[in-house]
Structure 1
């Protein structure tokens, strides 16, 4: 009975699967993922070569960390290559459009704004309520006037990055698996595991690498759940965008993707003991954000 209820909750997911079900062969999925990889690697190599020719020797590698506003804008915008790869793969191997991966355009936009507004209200409540002590004082990064001037470009860049990840993981990959397998354990679980693997980076975050990977695994499961309940990628993109807006544009770590943030945390990603309490708070906020999004979709 419980399994049946979970399937009923995901009835809207069928709206995303009609085109994918016409070509459910796994070789099409693997070929599509290979094409996405080729497109991303090739276009990033070209971009990196251009940057290397335009910058001083040795600075191009540092450019990829997004330490300056321009660098981070380019790094985030380069995720458009992944969206292009998905669009080509969906067209060549499943004979479907990128729009069919995202879901109904008007519905996806309405659901995006509904969830995003609810998350904004949640953030206002979180910041307004005690406790007000967030630990060590934050470090100012960009002057407020410059941050506001860059904000329109920053928002577009973060939206490109978060949309690309949702289109790939909760869109193309999830839908292709769901077209072939009935169990959510497969079409939610496998993309979430791959998403977590992409966030496992012990060289940068040290002892917290596994915890961050678990965070990403949980985030992947929750956004997959939202997608299956909503029938579009709109809510998942909204939750992902809101999370990265706060993590990249408001308060970021100082040593990675930090160029557009208004404030930096007073320690680096490798400071495991100092970072761990923030990660635990982030876990709690992620769960609350997911519940908020689900409530917003019910209205």
Structure 2
């Protein structure tokens, strides 16, 4: 079982607290290059460094490709923090944070990637041909090639950091401490969504978009628990962000890029904002459940998390020996 993997490593509560702090600090250190670059650029052009406190201003100070790279760098550093914490603080093989299988199933990763990529391409194509006035083709070969190089390398690092932190580290940590599956699912999903409150999309569309962010957190958590591993979530999250960055951008999104299309329509918080949660995600769940023969939904989503008897006896013996 996926959450039970944590019992094979050092899993005292204080380790997860210290580990989370270390990971948070690492991700914040990763933002320093972006801050320095923006300050240097602003000062060199005679501007005020106080103006960069506005995120919209910060996004326009540097070239969009450079901004994207530096923004994603913080996630890459955060992912390194996760790896070091898991390896040295918990003495846990990284594969056990990834999956309950003996090795990572890359077929599952690519399937999750393909599901959202194909869906996004089809949906965007239909909308483009139905409402061509809402888009501007801004394809520029050289900036786009640079964007592809950055995105292909850095986006998977960004999404993997979020998945390993929420669906991996915190899911397992809260699970072994709470001894159940539903609490880590709820906490990680809500916190994952809440962290998007600072995104410019929330300011533009309103708090209703939080249904999408939190709903996405629940979807990724559910497929992780049902599949006893993060592979599907890793692929899905990477595909969603990668195709979004390369295909369509807008002035009000968190990632503004040299994508193929630019959405120039006036955004509105309609049914389309929550449609993925209410329509697409249930369909994706059915497809994945059929393909991977998922059973015992109640047990896997709401069941207890118990330490395997063999491990419990081994830990007791080791503790007695040490004393």
The TM-score normalised by the length of structure 2 is 0.74
Match of 1:288 among 283, 289, 296: 283
Gaps of 5+ in 2: 295-323
Q: Is the 8 A contact 1:108 1:234 kept in 2?
A: yes
- Hey, what does 1:8 align to over in structure 2? none
Q: Which structure has the larger Rg over C-alpha atoms?
A: 2
1:238 paired with 2:224, answer no
> SS at the partner of 1:107?
coil
In structure 2, C-alpha distance between the alignment counterparts of 1:277 and 1:143, rounded to whole Å: 33
Q: 1:155 to 1:56 in 2, by over 3 A?
A: same
- Hey, what does 1:77 align to over in structure 2? 73
Q: Is the 8 A contact 2:34 2:71 kept in 1?
A: no
> SS at the partner of 1:78?
helix
Q: Is the 8 A contact 1:170 1:233 kept in 2?
A: yes
Number of equivalenced pairs: 281
1:48 paired with 2:34, answer yes
- Hey, what does 1:220 align to over in structure 2? 217
In structure 1, C-alpha distance between the alignment counterparts of 2:40 and 2:93, rounded to whole Å: 36
Gaps of 5+ in 1: 1-13
Q: Which moved more, 1:128-137 or 1:155-164?
A: 128-137
Match of 1:297 among 283, 289, 292: 292
Q: Is the 8 A contact 1:64 1:71 kept in 2?
A: yes
Q: 1:225 to 1:156 in 2, by over 3 A?
A: same
- Hey, what does 1:264 align to over in structure 2? 262
> SS at the partner of 1:188?
helix
> SS at the partner of 1:31?
helix
The 5-angstrom pairing of residues 5-154 of structure 1 reads 14-15=1-2, 17-20=4-7, 22-45=9-32, 47-48=33-34, 50-52=36-38, 55-57=41-43, 58=47, 61=52, 62-64=57-59, 68-103=64-99, 104=101, 106-123=103-120, 126=123, 132-134=129-131, 136-143=133-140, 146-148=143-145, 150-154=147-151
- Hey, what does 1:198 align to over in structure 2? 195
Q: Which moved more, 1:166-175 or 1:151-160?
A: 151-160
The TM-score normalised by the length of structure 1 is 0.79
User: Residues 130-170 of structure 1: CA distance to partner in whole angstroms, max 9, x if unpaired?
Assistant: 99514742123332564256324322221111111101100
Q: 1:146 to 1:106 in 2, by over 3 A?
A: farther
In structure 2, C-alpha distance between the alignment counterparts of 1:124 and 1:195, rounded to whole Å: 25
Q: 1:69 to 1:293 in 2, by over 3 A?
A: farther
In structure 2, C-alpha distance between the alignment counterparts of 1:91 and 1:21, rounded to whole Å: 13
User: Residues 109-136 of structure 1: CA distance to partner in whole angstroms, max 9, x if unpaired?
Assistant: 1211133234444456546779951474
Q: Is the 8 A contact 2:114 2:236 kept in 1?
A: no
1:279 paired with 2:273, answer yes
